[in-house]
A and B are shown apart, each in its own frame.
Chain A
Amino acid sequence: MSIQNEEESKEQNPSSVTRRKFLKNTGYVVGGAILGGIVGNLIGKPVQQNNPTEAAGPATDYNQALMFFTIEQFRTVEAATERIFPADELGPGAKDLGVAYFIDHQLSGDWGFNSRDYMQGPFYKGEAVQGYQGRLKRREIFDIALQEMNNYSHTKYQKKFYELTAEQQDEVLTAFQNDEVKITTISPSGFFDTLRSATIQGVYADPLYGGNRNMDGWKMKNFPGNQMAYTDIIESEKFAKIPPKSLKDHVQH
């Protein structure tokens, strides 16, 4: 794990962060596919103090805005996912990995609308082995559940979920996980399971979806991401630590 920690500390180096953000930013502006080569040429060059982008203020990740959540919902999800996958000595947690943005973006599309699920009635309560039989879409479930999380937090601690201590937040999440919260419209544990799996997805999906920021999820796990071949190492006894690549790599040249 020592090498991973070194990578983490490198990432926290301010100049490298700036360069990364600059590249990301530039990629958005110019369109990676066409001018990626130019962007690529900038890698390795020292970032100059009088760089025009720097002068214009801190670089911006335009992907980090909200497509679905309200600010309060966002804060609630950010706090909850951070408890599911917390920052620790191994590396960043869900918050710094951008998981709440990932979930927000997912809820705004097919997944949030259950577009590719069978959503025709009639709706009956089924056996557990028959799977989800509700009529609510994932985005509707999130709307209700996040409200309920804050209601529950307020009843118990007179605060919003994201204002609670970490221990109190864990208690609330556990109450949802174990169906100790009385809600008639949704299944608290069903919501918790969705939130948990969405968190894992946000930690480890390709960064193009807004989570796994800087591939830090992959780096912690020693997963090399998008590699074209492992023919050289497949027979090797030695563990191969390979710097990860993302799908962005495919449109930069």
Chain B
Amino acid sequence: MAKKLPKVDVVLVGVGWAGGIIAAELTKQGLQVVGLERGKERKTEDYFMVHDELRYAYRYELFQDLSKETVTFRSNEKVRALPMRQYGSFLLGDGLGGAGVHWNGQTYRFLPYDFEIYSQTIERYGKNKIPAGMTIQDWGITYDQLEPYFDKFEKMAGISGEENPLGGKRSDKYPTPPMKYSPQMKMFQDATKKLNLHPYATPSANLSEAYTNPDGIARTACQYCGFCERFGCEYGAKADPVVTVIPVANKTGKFQIRTHSYVRRILHTGNKATGVLYTDVTTGEEIEQPADIVVLTSYVFNNVRLLLNSKLGRPYDPKTGTGVIGKNYAYQVQKGNALGFYERMEFNNFAGAGALGVTIDDYNGDNFDHSNLNFIHGGGIRISQTGKRPIASNSVPKGTPTWGKEFKANSIKYYNRTLSVSGQGASMPFRHHYLDLDPEYKDVFGDPLIRLTFDFEEQDRQLAAFLAERCGDIMKEMGADTIQVAKDLGPYDIVPYQSTHNTGGVIMGASPETSAINNYGQLWDAENVFVVGASSFPHNSGYNPTGTVGALSYRAADGIIKYSKNGGMLV
């Protein structure tokens, strides 16, 4: 028998960006919120020894322990899905702050086009532009509706940036000026301007200067130490939930965080949730936490898995295309890049920050004509100076052996003599790309793992090849002596790291027929359940997702506050 606790107003499953934002906003309004976090507490002091590439980047210090839980993967339904036994393609967050702790801080807004992708594609190119099986749909919200929430997220996090000439309209400028421009960034800026493109400093959560946000949270400026992605910030300069929204929630006295609390089921009767059942992983005890409102704020995979394991919502069926939970899994086309070798120049590549860079959006979204192209959407193209670390960075010219004397000489020589321009391609959903429960493999509690069925499509291959060519043109303009262009996408392979931008599975939309949640994140099938995160994206854009996750989290907070007063469906 599970121990039953007194009821609270709201229970959150997972305390990362989405959970932290919602906790801060709800507790400010006086709601009693419990945040259940499966991992441990995290704080800035933890990162005293953070400049350790082996521990954090190669032994995955901050990530989910795969021995307890992983995902299974197959390329298509004809193949048996097998567990991701070791890390590769993406890295799953864990602990207080979640993936918000180990991100780079690149904070874009999705384009107005993204939110109306289906209508705008049809309008400009006709129905035939959308290939068979591609299940793009409008998001049930417009960029203009979401704009105030983007603004709110950027001010909370102190995003450092300058206006994107090709982005959506802004109600206000970024709260802090752009990061410093390194010589490498200036080369990219000059080259893209010469090519009549529109460069802008990558919007950064690393903080270009000391900043106090509207909640009164003060943070110091980034020191460009070069340890962001896969690492926590020892200065608290990089915005993460632990140094921004969680202290605000804590200060209200209305927020209780319970770490080591692994939520296993949403409890529900009729079409309402009554609370959640979780395991205290330190004691093994099962505990029931009743609540008026349940909010799922874990990562994509666990938002979907928890709904399916709880038998809440209608599971997606790829055969009929009906059902919604698990639908429209999408990823990122991380191929399409150009590596430039410089014989006469040396760069301070070891210095950097997670979001230090310059971006162009000329080939992103529908900012360019697709009439004669065999794909839709596009990708951001950037130079990123995240700080080259020596285990990870061993670029050598083509033809160099992968080991031995020549490898050693070239990997050392070119360590600070290479620059990279790369595309971050959008990922369109397809009918046969989805998430469901694995029939065979279980987690440490005996619950089914989530099963991922996904592969790259012709759309993705065309996009990668297109972006690669553009990257090559820019690199040429940047004066590299030798350029290697990577344009062949190949099949989706879970082994090499690509991107932790997994999206979809609990998607938002205007109709319960085609989506799982409305534009407040409210589950169509249970009005007191909200599901927040990149799981709500009907497709993934050519950007890092966190800016849009942040905006949708503020939107959901508004919805939950409204719901707590009046009840009922909000849309």
Q: Chain A residues in contact with chain B, CB under 8 A? A: 83-86, 88, 90, 93, 110-111, 114-120, 122, 124, 126-133, 170, 173, 196, 199-201, 203-206, 209, 217-218, 220-231, 233-237, 239-240, 247, 250
Interface-located stretch among B31-39, B223-231, B260-268 = B223-231
Contact among B69, B86, B391 for A205, CB-based, below 8 A: B391
How far is the CB of A79 from the nearest CB of chain B, in Å?
14
Residues of B within 8 A of A204 (CB): 53, 390-391
Contact for A235 among B52, B84, B181, CB less than 8 A: B181
Main secondary structure of the interface of A (DSSP, over half): loop
Least Cβ–Cβ distance between A130 and chain B, in angstroms: 5
User: Interface stretch among B60-68, B282-290, B559-567?
Assistant: B60-68
Residues of chain B within 8 A (CB-CB) of A224 are 350
Minimum C-beta distance from B7 to chain A (A) = 36
B319 proximal to A (CB < 8 A): no
Contact A220 B66 (CB under 8 A): no
Chain B residues, CB < 8 A from A237: 183
Count contacts between A and B, CB distance < 8 Å.
163
Stretch in B70-78, B376-384, B522-530 with 4+ CB within 8 Å of A: B70-78
Interface-forming stretch among B8-16, B244-252, B404-412, B479-487?
A: B404-412
- For A90, what are the chain B residues with a Cβ–Cβ distance below 8 Å? 408-409, 412
Interfacial chain B residues near A206, Cβ < 8 Å: 51-54
Q: How far is the CA of A225 from the CA of B389 in the complex (A)?
A: 9
Contact call A118/B491, Cβ cutoff below 8 A? no
Asked if B223 and A230 make an inter-chain contact with CB atoms under 8 angstroms apart, the answer reads: yes
- Contact yes or no, A234 B67, CB < 8 A: no
Given that A131-B84, A131-B88 are contacting pairs, would A230 and B67 also be in contact in the complex, using a CB cutoff of 8 Å? Answer: no
B83 in contact (CB, < 8 A): yes
- Given that A129-B493, A133-B85, A233-B348 are known contacts, is A196 also in contact with B74, CB under 8 Å in the complex? no
Contact of B49 with A by CB under 8 A? yes
- Complex A-B: 16 CB contacts under 8 Å: A86-B404, A90-B408, A118-B83, A120-B441, A120-B442, A129-B493, A131-B84, A131-B495, A170-B404, A196-B403, A225-B51, A230-B351, A234-B356, A247-B49, A247-B51, A250-B48
Mask of B345-381 contacts with A, CB within 8 angstroms, 1/0: 0111011100010000000000000000000000000
B281 at interface (Cβ–Cβ under 8 A)?
no
Asked if B492 is an interface residue, CB under 8 A from chain A, the answer is yes
Q: Which residues of A contact B356 (CB under 8 A)?
A: 234
Looking across the interface, which residue of chain B has its beta carbon closest to that of A198? Answer: B58
Least distance between A176 CB and chain B CB atoms (Å)? 11
Return chain B residues, CB-CB under 8 Å to A132. 85-86
CA gap between A146 and B106 in the complex, in Å: 44
Q: A116-B60, A229-B223 are in contact. Are A250 and B494 (CB under 8 A)?
A: no
Name the one of B52, B82, B412 contacting A130, with C-beta atoms under 8 angstroms: B82
Residues of B with C-beta under 8 A to A250: 48-49
Determine if A129 and B85 form an interchain contact, defined as CB atoms under 8 angstroms apart: no
| Residue B343 at the chain A interface, CB threshold 8 Å | no
Contact between A83 and B48 (Cβ–Cβ < 8 Å)?
A: no
Nearest residue (CB) in A for B64 is A116
Our pick among B49, B53, B70, B491 for the contact of A129 (Cβ within 8 Å) is: B491
Interfacial chain A residues near B182, Cβ < 8 Å: 234-235
Task: List A contacts of B404 (CB < 8 A).
Answer: 83-84, 86, 170
Interface pair B180/A235, CB less than 8 Å apart:
yes
Among residues of A, the one whose C-beta sits closest to the C-beta of B79 is A127
Taking a contact as CB atoms under 8 Å apart, the answer to whether B408 and A88 are in contact is yes
B416 sits at the interface (CB 8 A): yes
Shortest beta-carbon distance from B10 to chain A in Å: 33
B394 within 8 Å of A by Cβ? Answer: yes
Bound Cα distance A229, B58 (Å): 23
Chain A CB within 10 Å — which of B65, B86, B391 has the most? B391
Q: Is the CB of A200 within 8 A of B394?
A: yes
Asked if B316 is at the interface of the complex by the 8 Å CB criterion, the answer is no
Residue in B53, B183, B225, B412 whose CB lies within 8 Å of A228: B225
Shortest C-beta distance, B78 to chain A (Å), equals 11
Interface residues in B443-467 by Cβ distance below 8 A to A read none
Tell me the chain B residues, 168-189 only, with Cβ under 8 Å from chain A: 180-183
Q: Are B405 and A228 in contact (CB under 8 A)?
A: no
